[in-house]
Copies of this chain bind each other. A is one copy, B any other.
């Protein structure tokens, strides 16, 4: 199966193209997650790192650096850094969300306990900072530490925005930028910085990562209502049951009449959910075209991601990144 075979998914083509780099990143992750003193750390980390994630974020760093012609070694440490930050946030997210399943497997907080998830997450976060010091670039440290703050801020904002139907699209954008787009954009941006790209190129790499992340997260939030557990490893309506106010709900609330508003207040704010409420929510989405409008926004962000690539050099990787932007929304049939 050649890399130009249209049936090969873009992230698989990226993984094949970057296979040598990715293997080195995996080795670096395995090396750095070891703790001489606390065997619980690699146990928990291996469970989540080995859970079959797509390594999308480290690939973004590797691809950005290669696309900009980088030939040095530091992009690998940065890619591992990005994956450590991601893994740390997953561990903490599962505690916060009280999740029992991720990617179809039991979560670490269920297999061990919340304590281990909190503390191993802290360890990985600290390890990520050790790693990002290594390339010796203050600009890179600034980008990644800013991303870490935006991620945490977005998570706290999500806590308070959940269960509040006054949450609007601007707040939602801040939440998902923190949840997803901030690390995507930092991942691509540091790839450009390490490769000594121009300011305009670095800005374009940032814009691509940001738009890809926004498209990805909006698609994810939409799939929470449209997907099936077999394909996504999530249960349909998880966000609804956790009373999260994602884009479909925001759009349905904005179009709601008095009766509908009372419904949203009861299920989201009061949290008094009954049998059939998820079906009712889906019916209200259909009535107001909320899922279609959400899909349109995801496609809009994917288009912005492709546009940003226009400011970057012509390169085989640029085509793959463009296809990746299409792919994250192509899941939305």
Contacts from A to B (Cβ < 8 Å):
35, 37-41, 89, 92, 95-96, 114-116, 118-120, 122-123, 125-127, 129-130, 133, 136, 138, 141-142, 145-146, 148-149, 151-153, 155-157, 159-160, 171, 174
A125 touches B123 (CB 8 A): no
A141 CA / B136 CA spacing, docked (Å)? 10
With A114-B114, A142-B133, A145-B129: A122-B37 Cβ-Cβ less than 8 Å: no
B145 touches A41 (CB 8 A): no
Residues on the B chain within 8 Å of A174, using CB: 37
Least Cβ–Cβ distance between A87 and chain B, in angstroms: 13
In-complex Cβ contact of A126 among B95, B138, B145 (8 A): B145
A119 touches B37 (CB 8 A): no
B141 touches A35 (CB 8 A): no
B123 touches A122 (CB 8 A): no
With A92-B122, A118-B96: A130-B156 Cβ-Cβ less than 8 Å: no
B35 touches A153 (CB 8 A): yes
B133 touches A141 (CB 8 A): yes
A141 CA / B118 CA spacing, docked (Å)? 23
Residues on the B chain within 8 Å of A119, using CB: 92, 96, 152, 155-156, 159
Least Cβ–Cβ distance between A62 and chain B, in angstroms: 23
Least Cβ–Cβ distance between A139 and chain B, in angstroms: 10
Residues on the B chain within 8 Å of A155, using CB: 119, 122-123
Residues on the B chain within 8 Å of A159, using CB: 40, 115-116, 119
A101 CA / B206 CA spacing, docked (Å)? 44
Identify which of A35, A96, A116, A127 gathers the most chain B CB atoms within 10 Å of its CB.
A96
B133 touches A149 (CB 8 A): no
With A35-B153, A157-B37, A160-B40: A118-B130 Cβ-Cβ less than 8 Å: no
Least Cβ–Cβ distance between A168 and chain B, in angstroms: 13
Least Cβ–Cβ distance between A114 and chain B, in angstroms: 7
